Amino acid sequence: MNGFTQGRVLAAMAVLIIKAAGATEAAAPADADALAKALANPIASLISVPFQLNYDTGYAAGGDRWTMNIQPVVPFSISEDWNVISRTILPLIAQHDVVDNGSQSGLGDTVQSLFFSPKKPTASGWIWGVGPAFMLPTATDNLLGSEKWSIGPTAVVLKQTESGWTYGALVNHLWSVAGNGNRGDIDATFLQPFLSKGLGKGRTFTVNFESTYDWESDQLTLPLNLMYSKVTKIGGQMVSFAGGARAYLDAPAGGPDWGLRFVVTLLFPE
């Protein structure tokens, strides 16, 4: 499947996501709001499987890029007081005239994070977690990945208020430690400040920055994301639908200007 065809498939998936959102059953407000609040917490004790479809455009050569991130989040209880939360990002990519004025499609590099987090917030209400992050060279095309094994620390801290606000930040830093690729070493910091407001009936509005700074090339990528989401039910399955847009406040030369995001998240509460 070439990049153009795969891009059309991913675009069709976005349409199906939107149509599916209109075919849902209403969830109980209390359940929906509780799940929406848990989703706003990256290290909540909730099994979830987001399918995050991203479209970016405005590249210098007139290109665009589709990325479907499959992002399962699975918490594990390791003691009476501690959880380990596994967060995985597996990207499927189709891009055209982004690199070398050609098309590429396939898997990208996988990012795996493990957060060790107390089960209870601090006395002042802060929730936190720390642990290792890994990037695995799973890309099926050398123009879709780094060809490097990378490792580094990751951490998240946040607070959730009774009035429905969630605010905090997630950060990681990755250094390449092995690999034979010719794309250069990895030395990059990812920082994601986030702010969300629960609106009731399972609805949430979120704003975040997903900034990445490449210390090797001294380049910053800084998109601002605005998202609206709603938790509902399809049959007996709790699901969150989300959609929004982003603007790139800074990007490497030739990088994108703006993009769209659609997310379907399967929820598996205890």
Give DSSP secondary structure letters for 178-213: E---SS---EEEEEEEEEEEEEETTEEEEEEE-EEE
For the segment 141-151, what is each residue's pLDDT rounded down to a tens digit? 989 999 999 99
Rounded to whole angstroms, the Cα distance separating 158 from 167 reads 5
Which CATH code is given to the segment(s) 3-264?
2.40.230
pLDDT for position 23: 47
For the segment 213-228, what is each residue's pLDDT rounded down to a tens digit? 999 999 999 999 999 9
In Å, the largest CA–CA distance within the chain is 55
CB 167 within 8 A of CB 141: no
Mean pLDDT of the residues in the chain: 90
Q: Measuring CA to CA, which residue among 192, 231, 226 is closest to residue 206?
A: 226
Rounded to whole angstroms, the Cα distance separating 267 from 96 reads 33
pLDDT for position 28: 61
Average pLDDT over residues 10-26: 52
pLDDT for position 192: 98
Model confidence at 20: pLDDT above 70: no
For the segment 86-97, what is each residue's pLDDT rounded down to a tens digit? 999 999 999 999
Average pLDDT over residues 107-112: 97
Q: Measuring CA to CA, which residue among 145, 198, 130, 204 is closest to residue 176?
A: 145
The confidence band for 12, taking pLDDT boundaries of 50, 70 and 90, is low
Q: Which of residues 244 and 179 earns the better pLDDT score?
A: 244
Q: Measuring CA to CA, which residue among 222, 144, 213 is closest to residue 183?
A: 144
Rounded to whole angstroms, the Cα distance separating 206 from 121 reads 22
* Total number of residues shown for the chain: 270
Rounded to whole angstroms, the Cα distance separating 91 from 70 reads 6
pLDDT for position 16: 52
pLDDT for position 254: 87
CB 42 within 8 A of CB 87: yes
For the segment 229-241, what is each residue's pLDDT rounded down to a tens digit? 999 999 889 999 9
Q: Measuring CA to CA, which residue among 177, 176, 197, 98 is closest to residue 141?
A: 98
Average pLDDT over residues 187-211: 97
pLDDT for position 100: 74
Model confidence at 14: pLDDT above 70: no
**Residue written as tokens 């069709």?**
12
Share of the chain above pLDDT 70, in %: 88
In the chain, what are the domain boundaries? 3-264
The confidence band for 5, taking pLDDT boundaries of 50, 70 and 90, is low
